[in-house]
Amino acid sequence: MNKILHIATTIKGGAGKVPELYSAELDRLGHESKILVKCDDDDNVNLVSYYKSKYLSFSIYFIKILTLIIQKCNGIFGSSILIEKYCFYNPSERYVSLSAKKILKKVEFNPEVIMIYWVANFINAKTIHDLYQLTNAKIVLVLTDMGPLTGGCHFAWDCAGYTNNCQNCPVFRDSVFFTKHAQKNFAFRKKYLEGIPIEIISVKGEILEQTLKSKLFAAKLVHRRNIPVESNFDDNKLNVREKYHVPDHKKVFFCAAANVKDTRKGFDVLVKALNLVHESISDNERENIVFLFAGHLADSILSSIPFTSYNLGYVDYTNELPAIFNCADAYISPSIQDSGPYLVNLSIGAGCPVISFNIGVAKDLVCDGISGYKANNVTAAELSECILKFNNMDKKERIGMRDKCKEIAGSELNWDDFFNGILN
């Protein structure tokens, strides 16, 4: 059995769920597993916080102040909005390196495997290099987005800079002070990571394609894995439908995102698509469609939806989400730039067909006409066509599609042999 250290900024949010899932499964397999996070008060028994309090560390304040300076100075020259678009979370990465010795003292064991997850504003390439030098552990980089492949952005959109050296980064292109900032970050990562025998765990789909084109990691060993889902879904549809007084004969579409105002999540495109759908169907069909929305700020879009809609707010991953997927006839994922989202995995795992664009994990898990429908081009018109195709299916066809989703989940989203080749 192995001693395994997982390192992540947090175990909260979508990306934060991954180290918690992996750690729990490794515990079940008999390994000794600990999760190091920046600062967290979660009750996970395997959790170790680097900082006791987010208010007590000078380095936390230093990172925040430096990040703010870079963002504000860059914003003077018109690029601050691009920092948000490309999710350039950690512009101060080169300036603060946490102590690898202190990390090992905190976790109180010498790991044989170190798994690195979403670590923005926490550890950097030098810390990873130092951990390898001290432990000679196998370093496994778990990709939850593009962050590790680039000079700082977590979503590249149409930029291919990560395939070279992140020169002429669009985030800093108009900046006087930080024109080469991403390029220098990229060089920093290359300096400390190039000589380490890092292995990669990449979900299948778009992020895998990007990894194989990456200047930093294309030559590394890449393990192709979809993030598994827990088999805690039941077939009871009535609980959620009864709560919102939705008759069983009506079609329920579910949509969710942590922040629906995030441009990447595509909810503005979804609103346009739903209005096109509304124009294309009869009054009777309109009356038989219900939408459920979950996530922060969902109220902001409800007034633009031309169908009966309910805002569920924040929903719990463990208890509420399975019930919602069982209630829904289809899950619509309108993301236009995403490495996941993991909700696609969860939907397929629940036997709930997915309607999406051909991005992220949908490239692999959503088979057109089998486990849902996907639009090849990011347009409201194409997304509306996919929704209409599903709406035109009869009950027998929809049941058949749910069964296909469960078949795909059984073969692609389980823990069988998941860590084979990674831990041995």
Whether residue 230 lies inside any domain: the answer is no
Among 194, 224, 254, identify where a domain stops. 224
What local confidence, expressed as pLDDT, does residue 52 receive? 76
Query: Is the domain of 251 the same as that of 211?
Result: no
Domain carrying residue 92: 3-224
What local confidence, expressed as pLDDT, does residue 239 receive? 73
Among 224, 255, 281, identify where a domain stops. 224
Q: Cβ neighbours of residue 199 under 8 Å, at least 6 residues apart?
A: 138, 139, 140, 141, 220, 221, 222, 223, 422
Return the CATH number at 251. Answer: 3.40.50.2000
Total count of residues recorded for the chain = 424
Whether residue 23 lies inside any domain: the answer is yes
Number of domains the chain is built from: 2
The one-character DSSP state at 226 is: P
Query: Is the domain of 123 the same as that of 72?
Result: yes
Query: Is the domain of 121 the same as that of 173?
Result: yes
Query: Is the domain of 196 the same as that of 309?
Result: no
Query: Is the domain of 120 the same as that of 148?
Result: yes
Query: Is the domain of 46 the same as that of 157?
Result: yes
Q: What is the pTM of this model?
A: 0.86
Whether residue 136 lies inside any domain: the answer is yes
Longest Cα separation, the chain:
68
Return the CATH number at 92. Answer: 3.40.50
Whether residue 420 lies inside any domain: the answer is no
pLDDT 10s per residue in the chain (424 long)? 899 999 999 888 778 889 999 999 999 999 999 999 998 766 777 899 998 765 555 555 555 555 555 555 555 444 555 667 888 877 667 777 889 999 999 999 999 999 999 998 899 999 999 999 999 999 999 998 888 999 888 888 889 999 998 888 888 777 666 778 889 999 999 999 988 999 999 988 888 889 999 999 888 889 999 999 876 555 555 577 887 788 888 999 999 887 777 888 999 999 999 999 999 999 999 999 999 998 876 566 788 899 999 888 888 777 788 889 988 999 999 999 888 889 999 999 999 999 999 999 999 999 999 999 999 999 999 999 999 999 999 999 999 999 999 999 999 898 988 998 888 6
Give percent helix, percent strand, percent coil of the chain, each to the nearest 5: 40, 15, 45
What local confidence, expressed as pLDDT, does residue 163 receive? 93
Q: Is 252 exposed, middle or buried (0-12, 13-18, 19+ CB in 10 A)?
A: buried
Whether residue 422 lies inside any domain: the answer is no
Whether residue 233 lies inside any domain: the answer is no
